[in-house]
Structure 1
Amino acid sequence: MKREPVFFCFLMVFSNFRDPTDHELKLFNDLKTAFDKGALIVAAIAARTKEEIEESLDCGLVKGHAYAVSAVCTIDVSNPTQRSLTSYLLGSKQKQNLIRLQNPWGEKEWNGAWSDDSSEWQNVSDSQLSAMGVERGNSDNNDGDFWMPWESFVQYFTDISLCQLFNTSVFSFTKSYDEQIVFSEWTTNGKKSGAPDDRAGGCLNFQATFCNNPQYIFDIPSPNCSVMFALTQNDPSEGLKKREPFVTIGMHVMKVENNRQYRVHQAMHPIATSDYASGRSVYLHLQSLPRGRYLLVPTTFAPKEQALFMLRIYSDEHIHFSPLTKVGGFS
């Protein structure tokens, strides 16, 4: 199996959640951190039907259309309602989270608050405008680039796709990630599903055979440790003229005993599950897990589906990660 560039892609779907004090602020901070680290980010408003694709909304946005994120920032805004001498001397300011997007069409922009030439820009200092690349009173109203307030962004947009290149160099002055790579396969002996040497048990829908999949343990050394998994299957069409379909793959994570050394024989409730997709790769990002030992089970969707796979692990601390091969015990 060829090793591909170390890119991580995440799809965040946040439609129908409205918790402005916690989740929206955390999402903004996470997005800003990723953008500042050079992530490529696009956002979209999901189209629920074919008829909704490229449907223009009254606010100027378009459904089923990918917008590139070109800036994420927080600015100081003067409060125009406070004109007292005290507020002038103390500099009464409010914080405003903004995001800049680009419509690849080069037209059709957001027309609400903080859009081109909107009145909100009058409360921003010239120095901040210069740093943001905004020229007061001289905005091109139809070039496809526009700013909008974060609260409006989460009101309308439903999907964010993020592609991040991770620094895995040991010799680096910037934050780097520990990388571990495992090659394995889902394989079956061709006999009755669930035989001892069967390693293709399917997802949790098939609890009788689920534990026959490859199993891996990893230890979380501290609650602040962030771990990312990329599961990539071999291209079945490589070297062939006819395109062969990928199998559907995914991952489950379970909490196990800190001294676990033997394979698990009974399916447990997962604490995290990746998407299942019939594509080349799926991803799973774990944050703020309690310290302890965990079990990772990469699977195909159905039992007895065979494929080679590569599992890559990235963590901001070195973690112990190893396959579980010993058979014994009762759980």
Structure 2
Amino acid sequence: MAPTGVHITKDDVGSCTNPLKFLDQDYQELHQNCLTKNTKYIDEFFSPDNSSIGKGLLSDKDMAKVTWKRPSELVTDPNFIVDGASKFDYAQGSTLGNCWFLASIGALTSQMDIMNKVVPAEQSFSKVYTGIFHFRFWRFGKWFDVVVDDKLPTIDGKLIFVHSKTSNEFWPALLEKAYAKVCGSYADLESGFISEALMDFTGGTHMHIDLKQAPATLWNTMECAFKSKTLMGCCSPQGETPENTVLRNGIIEGHSYTVTGVFQVTSEGNSVRLVRLLNPWGQGEWKGAWSDKSPMWKTVSAEDRKKCLSVDDNGEFWMSMEDFTKIFQDMDICCLCPDFMDESSECHWTSTYIIGQWNAGTTAGGSRSYTETFWTNPRFRVRIEKLDKDCARGQCPENILVSLMQNRESRHRKKLPNFFIGFYVYDIPPGASTFRLTHKYLTHKSDGFLTHILYFINT
């Protein structure tokens, strides 16, 4: 059976340097039009009104108080970016539970090459200002340029959602507005997975790791990832209630954090592997071993202490790798290319996008439990070429990373239900160039079966 789907190759259209225009809006054209007419831009596709906030996020009483204001109406000297973009620039709003998105921003600011792709830096409130800004996001195989006006929702003169700790800096609020536009509304940003935004910021390869079944090589993987252009985040387990309960150890239940670094220190003659995390609230930290005020820091060299330790309540903290895997539930690594997974600098991975679909009644065959229909699922053949000597040295020639994502039929992120989707990996016998994946081969309990990956995707 031939594979059901289309192979996508990377061409110039839809690339980061030549992105598609989201909702057919051309930033340069709209900007020039405002200059010609000497007017301030107002976005017709994401109007500064209640429809852009969305339903269920604010009470009727608060919604009636909302006023959309441009930054120049809030401060006398608005700036897009002040002294460079930083993971400490912003704090989460009190009414929107989008820590998954803001934790991704924390990761984004650690890789300025990627940051400059998502947040074009030439934007300003002074030079040829017309009230229009734009950002770039990767969406299911293509990059899009997203235009917004700079009218922001406020109550009593204060921003409702994300805000900068520097009162006259507005890139975080405008970036959040652009992403809310892509997702449908601010309300559509409520609750999510950090992997969603990490993918939309990079268009790269995604790895999801269950920390309760973490491989022994995880810290090494994280160390290599940290040294490359890679974004990382994690999530704590959800408690018995949907509220973000702060535990006695300082960790927040059901909350997303940015992984901002890894470091190895020597404490009393023993090597200790540490992980650094950032709370997107901008405050509130871990209180256990290796926290800011932990006596463990007195056991390391003054050099390491100076390099790592900060006692500011800025939301960033260290903890041991053991505590990290014990306390947190899962983590996500998103990279432009998974080259970091191989020790050899000669290794360069290649990637391919394949688009397919499940059709009810024909190709939606279910899991291996459904032996009569499972074999009808869409399937794709992958050939792994032999590695050259430099790359293969110390590596596994069969190294492959498969990542599955689901496109949304609706622009509004929260309007579709959750689905279980996944994939199975099989080994085709050597030399079987015309081998057919038969019903018997796919459903037999031992033949060829390698692994099964199941995702719970919020669509």
Mark the CA change 1:234 to 1:154 in structure 2 (over 3 Å): closer, same or farther: closer
Instruction: Label 1:45 to 1:235 Cα distance change in 2 as closer, same or farther (>3 A).
Output: closer
Q: How far 1:146 sits from its partner (Å)?
A: 1.2
1:262 aligns with 2:262: no
Q: Indicate whether 1:3 and 2:141 are aligned.
A: yes
1:1-331 to structure 2, matched below 5 A, reads: 3-4=141-142, 6-15=203-212, 25-50=216-241, 53-77=243-267, 79=268, 93-132=269-308, 134=309, 139-140=311-312, 142-166=313-337, 175-187=347-359, 198-220=362-384, 221=386, 223-237=396-410, 248-260=420-432, 261-266=435-440, 267-269=443-445, 270-278=449-457
Partners of 2:406 and 2:457 within 8 A in 1: no
Q: Quote the residue 2:42 is aligned against.
A: none
Give 1:212 deviation, angstroms.
2.0
Q: CA, structure 1 residues 273+111, in 2 after alignment: closer, same or farther (shift >3 Å)?
A: same
Deviation at 1:42, TM superposition (A): 1.7
**Structure 2 counterpart of 1:313:** none
Q: For residues 145 and 63 of structure 1, what CA distance do their matches in structure 2 show?
A: 17
Q: What is the rounded CA distance, in whole Å, between the counterparts of 1:158 and 1:246 in structure 2?
A: 20
Structure 1 runs not aligned, ≥5 long: 18-22, 80-92, 281-331
- Please state which structure has a larger fraction of its residues in strand: 1
**TM-score under structure 1 length normalisation:** 0.61
Q: Quick check: 2:141–2:353 contact (8 Å CA) kept in 1?
A: no
Deviation, 1:177, is 0.9
Quick check: 1:6–1:166 contact (8 Å CA) kept in 2?
no
Structure 1 pair 49–183 and aligned structure 2 pair: CA distance change class (3 A):
same
Q: Check conservation: 2:250, 2:285, Cα contact below 8 A.
A: yes
SS in 2 for 1:160: strand
Distance in 2 between residues matched to 1:234 and 1:107, nearest whole Å: 34
**Greater mean deviation of Cα atoms: 210-219 or 33-42:** 210-219
User: Structure 2-normalised TM-score?
Assistant: 0.46
Question: Equivalents in 2 of 1:181, 1:44: separation in Å?
Answer: 27
- 1:115–1:255: structure 2 CA closer, same or farther, 3 Å change rule? same
Q: Which has the higher contact order (CA 8 A, sep 6+)?
A: 1
Tell me how many residue pairs correspond in the alignment.
Answer: 240
Measure the CA separation in 2 of the matches of 1:262 and 1:63.
48
Give the secondary-structure state (helix, strand or coil) at the position aligned to 1:154.
helix
Q: CA deviation at 1:208?
A: 0.5
Tell me which protein shows more helix as a share of its residues.
2
